[in-house]
Structure 1
Amino acid sequence: MRYVVTSLIFAFGLLCGCQKPAEDKLEAIFPQGQKGPAEYFTGNAYNYGLVPMDSTYTTLVGNVFFEPGARSNWHTHPAGQILIITAGKGYHQIEGGPIQVLKKGDVAKCPPNKKHWHGASPDTGMQQLYIVPNTEKGVVNWMEPVSDEQYQNIN
């Protein structure tokens, strides 16, 4: 009887939305890393390098953990960037386009020299792997912060 009551309480909690779904929990694959500088990020974002830049692979790979509401400034990459979302929920926007919602398993491509930003949703953090190819062309050009109005402009 006790098992049935406990199961019913758990099921009711899920149905009424009283408990967060499992996908809202972030399960870290990599260490949190170093906090990103406030001049390039709004909120708290942490970078953990995985593949350092070198002349053999000419590719930079790392993981960024964005706390809820955190986001990068607008920026470009001379050779583009690929994002692979490993946990949570976030946003990505290329200038002039709509905000794209990203979830675990999604891939976003940032074309070369296209102004864009990415970060977590307001109430759920996000983890992403980033891949920056052809680093001999340069890595990143940082620009202005994403305003609250731009960040909240989900269509």
Structure 2
Amino acid sequence: MHRWIVAALAAGVLCPAGAAEPELQVSRAGARTARPAPAAHFSGQAMVDMRHVPSGAARASVGSVSFSPGVRTAWHTHPLGQTLVVTAGAGQVQRWGGPVVEMRVGDVIHIPPLLKHWHGAAPGGAMTHLAITEAQDGSTVQWLEAVAEAPGAPAPATAASAAPSRAQRLMGDVAPKLAQLTDEVLLGDVWTRPGLSPRDRSLVTVSALIALNRPEQLRSHLGLGLNNGLTRDEISEALTHLAFYAGWPNAITAAGVAREVFAAAPKP
């Protein structure tokens, strides 16, 4: 009996009933502020929303990085590697001396420690990915030279030699300034603002084009919406829902356009 009492008293001292347990930490959407990525290490505009910054003994951080069309990082390495999860759009990644690899929504790319590489948006479209990175002695990355400055390294097309954007093909010859504003302001600024994800912006845009009965613009934005993570079921439900608000003829026209886009798109 004496031993039982001693053990119980010891347990009470070591684990007092009133000891507070650690609280959950919740970072609400909209409570964080996305900031421009460092211009010295990116070829153009990119925004970084740090979803998680480690504290104490923790080492892993999580950031959401949104790249404007065609923008990429400089060459760099991570002391403990990095994992990318593409959440919107289409991107590219390349290891030093290797081929350019395409990456799309849902793809997970693991970059081993100290592997020299770059990553960014594919030409003509924005891209967002989560970057999960561990720190070693407080450092998560070592930045190196810009991609275009790497002598002898295989590199993607530069902005000057990249294929013309859709806006440039559609109106660059008759309205070059409008094409420039479309690429730099609409697609390069508005579409990369952190308030809405590219997927949600696609849903808003597709809905507006269905309601306005704009089949030509709808066709391209349906394709973009699929790249940004919209599912065929969501698009189908959106045009069915809008039939009651925008009219049956608009919804029927949109259904015909969606059929063409779905037939041409890769199967999910």
Contact 1:45/1:64 (CA < 8 Å) preserved in 2?
yes
Please list, as runs of the form range in 1=range in 2, the aligned pairs for 1:84-123 lying within 5 A after superposition.
84-123=85-124
Which whole-Å CA distance do the structure 2 matches of 1:106 and 1:136 have between them?
29
Which whole-Å CA distance do the structure 1 matches of 2:80 and 2:109 have between them?
15
- Equivalent residue number for residue 139 of structure 2: 138
Q: Cα gap change, 1:41/1:32 in structure 2, threshold over 3 Å: closer, same or farther?
A: farther
Contact 1:58/1:136 (CA < 8 Å) preserved in 2?
no
Q: What amino acid sits opposite 1:87 in the alignment?
A: A
- Equivalent residue number for residue 25 of structure 1: none
Q: Cα gap change, 1:134/1:40 in structure 2, threshold over 3 Å: closer, same or farther?
A: closer
- Equivalent residue number for residue 164 of structure 2: none
Over the residues paired in the alignment, what is the CA RMSD in angstroms? 2.2
Asked if residue 35 in structure 1 is aligned to residue 39 in structure 2, the reply is no
Larger mean CA deviation between 110-119 and 139-148 belongs to 139-148
Contact 2:100/2:155 (CA < 8 Å) preserved in 1?
no
Please list, as runs of the form range in 1=range in 2, the aligned pairs for 1:45-56 lying within 5 A after superposition.
45-56=46-57
Task: State the structure with more CA Rg.
Answer: 2
Which structure shows the bigger proportion of residues in strand conformation?
Answer: 1
Q: What amino acid sits opposite 1:38 in the alignment?
A: A
Asked if residue 152 in structure 1 is aligned to residue 153 in structure 2, the reply is no
Which whole-Å CA distance do the structure 2 matches of 1:134 and 1:42 have between them?
24
Contact 1:73/1:143 (CA < 8 Å) preserved in 2?
yes
Moved over 4 A (4+): 29-32
Q: What amino acid sits opposite 1:140 in the alignment?
A: V
Q: Under a length normalisation based on structure 1, what TM-score does the superposition of the two structures give? A: 0.74
Contact 2:81/2:114 (CA < 8 Å) preserved in 1?
yes
Q: What amino acid sits opposite 1:122 in the alignment?
A: P
Which whole-Å CA distance do the structure 2 matches of 1:151 and 1:41 have between them?
14
Q: How many residues align?
A: 125
Q: Cα gap change, 1:102/1:78 in structure 2, threshold over 3 Å: closer, same or farther?
A: same
Q: Deviations over 1:44-84 (max 9, x none)?
A: 11101011132332101110000101110000000000000
| TM superposition shift of 1:135 | 4.0
Contact 2:52/2:61 (CA < 8 Å) preserved in 1?
yes
- Equivalent residue number for residue 59 of structure 1: 60
Q: Unaligned regions of 5+ residues in structure 2, if any?
A: 1-28, 159-268
Q: Deviations over 1:11-42 (max 9, x none)?
A: xxxxxxxxxxxxxxxxxx88781111211100
Q: Unaligned regions of 5+ residues in structure 1, if any?
A: 1-28
Identity over aligned residues, as a percent? 38
| TM superposition shift of 1:146 | 1.1
Which structure shows the bigger proportion of residues in helix conformation?
Answer: 2
Partner SS, residue 70 of structure 1: coil
